[in-house]
Protein backbone atom coordinates (compact mmCIF):
# COMPACT_ATOMS: atom_id res chain seq x y z
CA UNK A 1 0.00 0.00 0.00
CA UNK A 2 1.70 3.20 -1.19
CA UNK A 3 0.33 6.62 -0.27
CA UNK A 4 0.90 9.86 -2.10
CA UNK A 5 2.72 12.70 -0.43
CA UNK A 6 -0.34 14.85 0.26
CA UNK A 7 -2.14 11.96 1.94
CA UNK A 8 0.86 11.48 4.22
CA UNK A 9 1.02 15.20 5.01
CA UNK A 10 -2.67 15.48 5.86
CA UNK A 11 -2.63 12.41 8.14
CA UNK A 12 0.97 12.38 9.36
CA UNK A 13 -0.24 12.35 12.99
CA UNK A 14 -2.83 9.64 12.21
CA UNK A 15 -0.93 7.22 10.00
CA UNK A 16 -2.50 4.05 11.52
CA UNK A 17 -5.95 5.53 10.78
CA UNK A 18 -4.91 6.20 7.18
CA UNK A 19 -3.51 2.70 6.74
CA UNK A 20 -6.54 0.97 8.22
CA UNK A 21 -9.03 3.00 6.21
CA UNK A 22 -7.34 2.36 2.88
CA UNK A 23 -6.86 -1.31 3.66
CA UNK A 24 -10.62 -1.59 4.22
CA UNK A 25 -11.33 0.30 1.00
CA UNK A 26 -9.02 -1.91 -1.02
CA UNK A 27 -10.49 -5.08 0.44
CA UNK A 28 -14.03 -3.88 -0.19
CA UNK A 29 -13.56 -2.59 -3.75
CA UNK A 30 -10.28 -3.87 -5.21
CA UNK A 31 -10.47 -0.88 -7.61
CA UNK A 32 -10.90 -1.88 -11.24
CA UNK A 33 -12.50 -0.43 -14.32
CA UNK A 34 -15.80 -1.90 -13.18
CA UNK A 35 -15.97 -0.43 -9.68
CA UNK A 36 -13.38 2.33 -9.61
CA UNK A 37 -16.01 5.06 -9.42
CA UNK A 38 -17.56 3.42 -6.35
CA UNK A 39 -14.13 3.10 -4.76
CA UNK A 40 -13.37 6.78 -5.38
CA UNK A 41 -16.74 7.83 -3.94
CA UNK A 42 -16.13 5.78 -0.77
CA UNK A 43 -12.60 7.15 -0.48
CA UNK A 44 -13.80 10.76 -0.87
CA UNK A 45 -16.54 10.20 1.71
CA UNK A 46 -13.86 8.98 4.14
CA UNK A 47 -11.73 12.07 3.48
CA UNK A 48 -14.71 14.29 4.24
CA UNK A 49 -15.58 12.36 7.40
CA UNK A 50 -12.07 12.85 8.83
CA UNK A 51 -11.18 16.32 7.51
CA UNK A 52 -13.72 18.88 8.65
CA UNK A 53 -13.75 21.27 5.72
CA UNK A 54 -11.28 23.63 4.10
CA UNK A 55 -10.15 25.21 7.37
CA UNK A 56 -9.22 21.85 8.87
CA UNK A 57 -7.48 20.85 5.61
CA UNK A 58 -5.28 23.95 5.77
CA UNK A 59 -4.69 23.50 9.51
CA UNK A 60 -3.37 19.99 8.93
CA UNK A 61 -0.96 21.23 6.30
CA UNK A 62 0.26 23.99 8.61
CA UNK A 63 0.74 21.49 11.43
CA UNK A 64 2.89 19.32 9.19
CA UNK A 65 4.92 22.36 8.07
CA UNK A 66 5.69 23.14 11.72
CA UNK A 67 7.14 19.65 12.17
CA UNK A 68 10.10 20.68 10.06
CA UNK A 69 11.61 17.31 9.14
CA UNK A 70 10.92 14.30 6.94
CA UNK A 71 8.95 11.62 8.76
CA UNK A 72 9.02 7.92 7.93
CA UNK A 73 5.36 7.15 7.38
CA UNK A 74 2.96 5.09 5.26
CA UNK A 75 4.02 1.77 6.71
CA UNK A 76 7.18 1.40 4.64
CA UNK A 77 9.66 -0.84 6.49
CA UNK A 78 13.14 0.68 6.84
CA UNK A 79 14.75 -2.72 7.30
CA UNK A 80 14.10 -6.32 6.30
CA UNK A 81 13.97 -7.27 9.97
CA UNK A 82 10.65 -5.45 10.30
CA UNK A 83 8.95 -7.16 7.37
CA UNK A 84 6.11 -9.57 8.15
CA UNK A 85 6.58 -13.11 6.79
CA UNK A 86 3.87 -12.71 4.16
CA UNK A 87 5.73 -9.77 2.61
CA UNK A 88 8.90 -11.83 2.50
CA UNK A 89 6.99 -14.56 0.65
CA UNK A 90 5.65 -12.02 -1.82
CA UNK A 91 9.15 -10.62 -2.31
CA UNK A 92 10.37 -13.91 -3.77
CA UNK A 93 7.71 -13.57 -6.46
CA UNK A 94 8.46 -9.90 -7.01
CA UNK A 95 12.18 -10.59 -7.43
CA UNK A 96 11.71 -13.39 -9.96
CA UNK A 97 12.41 -13.35 -13.69
CA UNK A 98 8.72 -13.87 -14.52
CA UNK A 99 7.85 -10.69 -12.66
CA UNK A 100 10.63 -8.91 -14.57
CA UNK A 101 9.25 -10.12 -17.89
CA UNK A 102 5.75 -8.91 -16.99
CA UNK A 103 7.07 -5.46 -16.07
CA UNK A 104 9.26 -5.26 -19.18
CA UNK A 105 6.32 -5.99 -21.50
CA UNK A 106 4.07 -3.24 -20.16
CA UNK A 107 3.25 -0.48 -22.70
CA UNK A 108 5.80 2.35 -22.69
CA UNK A 109 5.77 5.96 -23.77
CA UNK A 110 7.91 6.67 -26.83
CA UNK A 111 10.04 9.23 -25.01
CA UNK A 112 11.34 6.61 -22.54
CA UNK A 113 14.03 5.63 -25.04
CA UNK A 114 15.39 9.18 -24.91
CA UNK A 115 15.21 9.12 -21.11
CA UNK A 116 17.26 5.91 -21.00
CA UNK A 117 19.85 7.22 -23.45
CA UNK A 118 20.34 10.37 -21.39
CA UNK A 119 20.87 8.27 -18.25
CA UNK A 120 23.36 5.93 -19.89
CA UNK A 121 25.33 8.39 -22.03
CA UNK A 122 28.27 7.11 -24.05
CA UNK A 123 30.52 5.71 -21.29
CA UNK A 124 30.01 3.04 -18.60
CA UNK A 125 27.85 4.35 -15.79
CA UNK A 126 27.23 3.65 -12.11
CA UNK A 127 23.58 4.66 -11.82
CA UNK A 128 21.28 5.43 -8.91
CA UNK A 129 17.55 5.36 -9.65
CA UNK A 130 15.31 7.12 -7.14
CA UNK A 131 11.88 5.50 -6.64
CA UNK A 132 11.70 2.25 -8.61
CA UNK A 133 7.91 2.03 -8.21
CA UNK A 134 6.34 -0.15 -10.90
CA UNK A 135 9.63 -0.17 -12.81
CA UNK A 136 8.76 1.83 -15.93
CA UNK A 137 11.97 3.85 -15.91
CA UNK A 138 13.95 0.90 -14.55
CA UNK A 139 12.98 -1.27 -17.53
CA UNK A 140 13.78 1.47 -20.04
CA UNK A 141 17.31 1.85 -18.69
CA UNK A 142 17.94 -1.85 -18.00
CA UNK A 143 17.04 -2.80 -21.56
CA UNK A 144 19.90 -0.63 -22.87
CA UNK A 145 22.48 -1.23 -20.13
CA UNK A 146 25.91 -2.42 -21.26
CA UNK A 147 28.06 -5.05 -19.60
CA UNK A 148 30.10 -2.44 -17.74
CA UNK A 149 27.08 -0.47 -16.48
CA UNK A 150 25.58 -1.01 -13.02
CA UNK A 151 22.49 0.40 -11.35
CA UNK A 152 20.97 0.53 -7.87
CA UNK A 153 17.24 1.21 -7.69
CA UNK A 154 16.06 2.59 -4.35
CA UNK A 155 12.54 2.82 -2.97
CA UNK A 156 11.00 3.27 0.47
CA UNK A 157 8.69 0.34 -0.30
CA UNK A 158 10.38 -3.07 -0.04
CA UNK A 159 8.31 -4.75 -2.74
CA UNK A 160 8.88 -1.88 -5.17
CA UNK A 161 12.61 -2.22 -4.57
CA UNK A 162 12.31 -5.92 -5.41
CA UNK A 163 10.87 -4.94 -8.80
CA UNK A 164 14.38 -3.76 -9.66
CA UNK A 165 15.80 -7.18 -8.81
CA UNK A 166 13.24 -8.86 -11.07
CA UNK A 167 13.98 -6.50 -13.95
CA UNK A 168 17.71 -7.05 -13.54
CA UNK A 169 17.24 -10.82 -13.69
CA UNK A 170 15.05 -10.60 -16.78
CA UNK A 171 17.51 -8.44 -18.72
CA UNK A 172 20.61 -10.10 -17.27
CA UNK A 173 22.22 -6.84 -16.15
CA UNK A 174 23.91 -5.57 -12.97
CA UNK A 175 20.86 -4.12 -11.25
CA UNK A 176 19.94 -4.33 -7.57
CA UNK A 177 16.95 -2.98 -5.65
CA UNK A 178 17.52 -1.42 -2.22
CA UNK A 179 14.82 -0.48 0.31
CA UNK A 180 15.99 2.66 2.11
CA UNK A 181 15.10 6.21 3.06
CA UNK A 182 15.22 8.71 0.20
CA UNK A 183 16.00 11.47 2.70
CA UNK A 184 19.11 9.75 4.09
CA UNK A 185 20.59 7.70 1.28
CA UNK A 186 22.96 5.03 2.66
CA UNK A 187 25.75 5.81 0.18
CA UNK A 188 28.97 7.86 0.45
CA UNK A 189 29.43 11.15 -1.34
CA UNK A 190 30.24 11.02 -5.06
CA UNK A 191 29.18 7.35 -5.37
CA UNK A 192 27.35 7.53 -8.72
CA UNK A 193 28.04 8.92 -12.16
CA UNK A 194 24.31 9.27 -12.92
CA UNK A 195 21.12 9.75 -10.89
CA UNK A 196 17.69 9.33 -12.45
CA UNK A 197 14.04 9.44 -11.43
CA UNK A 198 10.96 8.80 -13.52
CA UNK A 199 8.03 10.80 -12.09
CA UNK A 200 8.70 9.57 -8.55
CA UNK A 201 9.29 13.03 -7.10
CA UNK A 202 5.66 13.87 -7.80
CA UNK A 203 4.61 11.33 -5.15
CA UNK A 204 7.16 12.29 -2.48
CA UNK A 205 7.25 14.54 0.55
CA UNK A 206 10.16 16.87 1.32
CA UNK A 207 11.38 17.00 -2.27
CA UNK A 208 14.25 19.45 -1.58
CA UNK A 209 15.73 17.08 1.01
CA UNK A 210 15.63 14.21 -1.50
CA UNK A 211 17.27 16.37 -4.17
CA UNK A 212 20.05 17.47 -1.82
CA UNK A 213 20.78 13.84 -0.98
CA UNK A 214 20.82 12.96 -4.68
CA UNK A 215 23.32 15.74 -5.35
CA UNK A 216 25.49 14.57 -2.44
CA UNK A 217 25.92 11.07 -3.86
CA UNK A 218 26.38 12.27 -7.46
CA UNK A 219 30.03 12.53 -8.53
CA UNK A 220 31.41 15.78 -9.99
CA UNK A 221 30.73 15.87 -13.71
CA UNK A 222 27.85 13.41 -13.24
CA UNK A 223 24.40 13.78 -14.72
CA UNK A 224 20.94 13.86 -13.16
CA UNK A 225 17.98 12.97 -15.39
CA UNK A 226 14.48 13.63 -14.04
CA UNK A 227 10.95 13.52 -15.38
CA UNK A 228 8.24 15.38 -13.52
CA UNK A 229 4.78 16.81 -13.96
CA UNK A 230 4.48 20.36 -15.25
CA UNK A 231 3.08 21.20 -11.80
CA UNK A 232 2.34 19.20 -8.68
CA UNK A 233 -1.32 20.23 -8.70
CA UNK A 234 -2.82 17.73 -11.15
CA UNK A 235 -2.09 14.63 -9.06
CA UNK A 236 -4.08 16.10 -6.16
CA UNK A 237 -6.71 18.20 -7.93
CA UNK A 238 -9.61 15.88 -7.04
CA UNK A 239 -8.65 16.00 -3.37
CA UNK A 240 -8.37 19.80 -3.48
CA UNK A 241 -11.75 20.04 -5.20
CA UNK A 242 -13.41 18.14 -2.35
CA UNK A 243 -12.51 20.99 -0.01
CA UNK A 244 -13.08 23.86 -2.46
CA UNK A 245 -9.39 24.73 -2.77
CA UNK A 246 -8.54 26.60 -5.97
CA UNK A 247 -5.63 25.74 -8.23
CA UNK A 248 -3.51 28.64 -7.00
CA UNK A 249 -4.32 27.88 -3.37
CA UNK A 250 -3.43 24.24 -3.96
CA UNK A 251 -0.08 25.09 -5.54
CA UNK A 252 0.72 27.43 -2.67
CA UNK A 253 -0.10 24.71 -0.13
CA UNK A 254 2.08 22.16 -1.93
CA UNK A 255 5.04 24.53 -1.97
CA UNK A 256 4.45 25.48 1.66
CA UNK A 257 5.14 21.91 2.76
CA UNK A 258 7.77 21.21 0.07
CA UNK A 259 5.53 18.77 -1.76
CA UNK A 260 6.23 20.19 -5.19
CA UNK A 261 8.19 18.70 -8.05
CA UNK A 262 7.41 21.26 -10.76
CA UNK A 263 10.38 22.00 -13.05
CA UNK A 264 10.93 25.58 -11.90
CA UNK A 265 10.92 24.51 -8.26
CA UNK A 266 13.39 21.68 -8.89
CA UNK A 267 15.64 24.09 -10.81
CA UNK A 268 15.58 26.48 -7.86
CA UNK A 269 16.82 23.74 -5.52
CA UNK A 270 19.46 22.23 -7.81
CA UNK A 271 21.18 25.31 -9.23
CA UNK A 272 22.61 26.58 -5.90
CA UNK A 273 23.93 23.05 -5.30
CA UNK A 274 26.15 23.21 -8.38
CA UNK A 275 23.94 21.53 -10.97
CA UNK A 276 23.58 23.17 -14.36
CA UNK A 277 20.56 22.40 -16.51
CA UNK A 278 21.88 21.24 -19.87
CA UNK A 279 18.65 20.25 -21.59
CA UNK A 280 14.93 19.87 -21.14
CA UNK A 281 11.90 18.94 -23.19
CA UNK A 282 8.13 18.88 -22.83
CA UNK A 283 6.88 15.29 -22.95
CA UNK A 284 4.05 13.86 -24.95
CA UNK A 285 0.98 13.83 -22.75
CA UNK A 286 2.37 16.49 -20.41
CA UNK A 287 5.26 16.73 -18.02
CA UNK A 288 8.92 17.59 -18.51
CA UNK A 289 12.18 15.70 -18.95
CA UNK A 290 15.19 17.61 -17.60
CA UNK A 291 18.91 16.79 -17.66
CA UNK A 292 21.42 18.42 -15.27
CA UNK A 293 25.19 18.21 -14.91
CA UNK A 294 27.11 18.57 -11.67
CA UNK A 295 30.04 20.97 -11.72
CA UNK A 296 33.55 19.57 -11.42
CA UNK A 297 34.46 22.00 -8.63
Please tell me the distance from the alpha carbon of residue 247 to that of residue 236, in angstroms, as a whole number: 10
pLDDT in tens, 166-207: 999 999 999 999 988 898 899 999 999 999 999 998 888 888
How distant, in Å, are the alpha carbons of 8, 9, 12, 205, 246 from that of 68? Answer: 14, 12, 12, 12, 25
pLDDT in tens, the chain (297 residues): 677 889 989 998 888 899 899 989 988 988 777 888 999 999 999 999 999 999 999 999 999 988 756 555 444 444 555 666 676 677 777 777 888 999 999 998 889 999 999 999 999 999 999 999 999 999 999 999 999 999 999 998 888 899 999 999 999 999 999 988 898 899 999 999 999 999 998 888 888 999 999 999 999 999 999 998 877 788 899 999 999 999 999 999 998 888 877 788 899 999 999 999 999 999 887 789 999 999 997
Give the pLDDT confidence score for residue 103 in this predicted structure: 92
Give the pLDDT confidence score for residue 289 in this predicted structure: 95
Burial class (CB in 10 A: 0-12, 13-18, 19+), 270: buried
Structural domain boundaries of the chain?
5-67, 80-294
Q: Do the beta carbons of residue 1 and residue 22 sit within 8 Å?
A: yes
pLDDT in tens, 14-52: 888 998 999 899 889 887 778 889 999 999 999 999 999
User: Who contacts 219 (Cβ-Cβ below 8 Å, separation ≥6)?
Assistant: 190, 191, 192, 193, 294
- What homologous superfamily does CATH list for 80-294? Vaccinia Virus protein VP39 (3.40.50.150)
Amino acid sequence: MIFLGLQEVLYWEEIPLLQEAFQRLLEAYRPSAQNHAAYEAARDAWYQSTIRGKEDFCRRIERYRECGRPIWVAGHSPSMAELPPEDMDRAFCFAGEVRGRDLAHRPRSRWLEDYAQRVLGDAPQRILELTVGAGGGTCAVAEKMREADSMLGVDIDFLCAKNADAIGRYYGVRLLGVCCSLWQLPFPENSFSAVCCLNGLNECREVPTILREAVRVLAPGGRMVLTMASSGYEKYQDLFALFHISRQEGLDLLRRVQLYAAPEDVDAVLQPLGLRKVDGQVLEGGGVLAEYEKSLA
